[in-house]
Chains A and B, each alone.
Chain A
């Protein structure tokens, strides 16, 4: 083995260098691209959640989305792009959940309000009915 390696190295140094350089270049070009689309999508989703008052109605979900986005950005800084992409996707889906739960909470609030209004109306109408 040792003998083989030595002879190989001795005779093919230029070729090896070329190979190494090529693979290095390829690695540089492909691996460290940040998942821009995922990150943007995550930021948009979080912004939408904030606009929808998620802070008030689904604070935990919104916080989770923000935390995931922070992790994604950290992963980008560490050039762990696969991790960054996953964290960005998770941040997006967490923000969407925040929006969905906010809407549900608002809907429930409106219904409660309407229920109270209807009760008041019933009382009012009963009162009128009694007067008649």
Chain B
């Protein structure tokens, strides 16, 4: 109004009135057509989608079409054109929704690809694992063979060492260990007390190789009757057997025989020969 009163002076009454009138008219023109409120709501939905980077990437064309439709819906229309306004808003709204659905679909396809890759990776990992396992199996099989071979070589070596330790003699019947008569008191079948190295070594050996059967044979010289010597030899063999059983060797592995004076290993003419003939032989089967 200030402007108008200022303008009024230089132009005079008539011109001033015209300006006032035209100002009113212009204001009326500017006021009447306005953006439909429903279009603003659609714009809001569209903006939300456009700000979502995945949507913007996945539904580029659909969003562009929706943008055009929303811009059209936003155009101010006169009050008597509500039908057109409603139509434009409807179109814009559905196009925004189409963009949303399309973007969602593409997003899922991207995800699916990722899932597929993951699955492939998982499959590959599984296959790799299987292959590794198979290789490991093969490796371990090979190494166990090698180990077994090494073991048997080592075992054989160890056994030889044990045999050497026993001071046993390898014969056709097996390992023959000769226990001299020093073990027994003269005329007695009882083992001498105290520790006996040879018997201890024998126990160790038999316990180490529990599958081997053992024959224990008693022998004597020719002093005294054959019957006496046979009994004595058997009793001495029995004594050794009992000793072995007492030290953990299973009785069923042990066979005993008394051979008396039948198998001398040396001449009974000399004392040394007779001493050699008084013996218990332990035969360990091969």
Interface size on A (CB < 8 Å)?
26
Question: Which residue of the partner chain, among A83, A93, A100, A128, contacts B91 with CB atoms under 8 Å?
Answer: A93
Stretch binding the partner chain, chosen from A1-9, A18-26, A27-35, A104-112: A104-112
Interface check A122, CB cutoff 8 A = yes
Minimum distance in angstroms from A116 CB to a CB of chain B = 11
* A121 & B123 in contact (Cβ 8 Å cutoff): yes
* A129 & B129 in contact (Cβ 8 Å cutoff): yes
Question: Which residue of the partner chain, among A90, A93, A103, A122, contacts B105 with CB atoms under 8 Å?
Answer: A103
Interface size class of B (residues with CB under 8 A): 20 to 34
Interface check A96, CB cutoff 8 A = yes
**A85-125 toward B: CB 8 Å interface, digit per residue (1/0)?**
01001100110110011011001101100110110011001
Known contacts A90-B87, A121-B123, A115 near B115 by CB under 8 Å: yes
A103 to B104, CA, bound (A): 9
A108 to B115, CA, bound (A): 13
Known contacts A90-B91, A93-B95, A107-B112, A128 near B126 by CB under 8 Å: yes
Please indicate the chain B residues that have their CB under 8 angstroms from the CB of A118 in the complex: 115, 118-119, 122
> Interface of chain B, helix or strand or loop or mixed?
helix
* A104 & B133 in contact (Cβ 8 Å cutoff): no
Q: A104-B108, A118-B119, A128-B126 are in contact. List 11 more A-B contacts (CB 8 A).
A: A89-B87, A90-B91, A90-B94, A93-B90, A93-B95, A103-B105, A107-B104, A108-B104, A114-B116, A121-B123, A125-B125
Nearest B-chain residue to A112, judged by Cβ: B108
A129 to B104, CA, bound (A): 36
A103 to B105, CA, bound (A): 6
Minimum distance in angstroms from B273 CB to a CB of chain A = 70
* A104 & B123 in contact (Cβ 8 Å cutoff): no
* B104 & A132 in contact (Cβ 8 Å cutoff): no
Residues in chain A within 8 A of chain B (CB atoms): 83, 86, 89-90, 93-94, 96-97, 100-101, 103-104, 107-108, 110-111, 114-115, 117-118, 121-122, 125, 128-129, 132
Number of interchain pairs (Cβ within 8 Å): 76
Please indicate the chain A residues that have their CB under 8 angstroms from the CB of B116 in the complex: 114
Residues in chain B within 8 A of chain A (CB atoms): 83-84, 87, 90-91, 94-95, 97-98, 101-102, 104-105, 108-109, 111-112, 115-116, 118-119, 122-123, 125-126, 129-130, 133
Please indicate the chain B residues that have their CB under 8 angstroms from the CB of A111 in the complex: 108, 111-112, 115
Known contacts A97-B94, A97-B97, A118-B115, A83 near B129 by CB under 8 Å: no
Top 7 A-B pairs ranked by shortest CB distance? Answer: A100-B101, A107-B108, A93-B94, A86-B87, A125-B126, A104-B101, A104-B104
A94 to B87, CA, bound (A): 12
Please indicate the chain A residues that have their CB under 8 angstroms from the CB of B90 in the complex: 90, 93
A66 to B267, CA, bound (A): 129
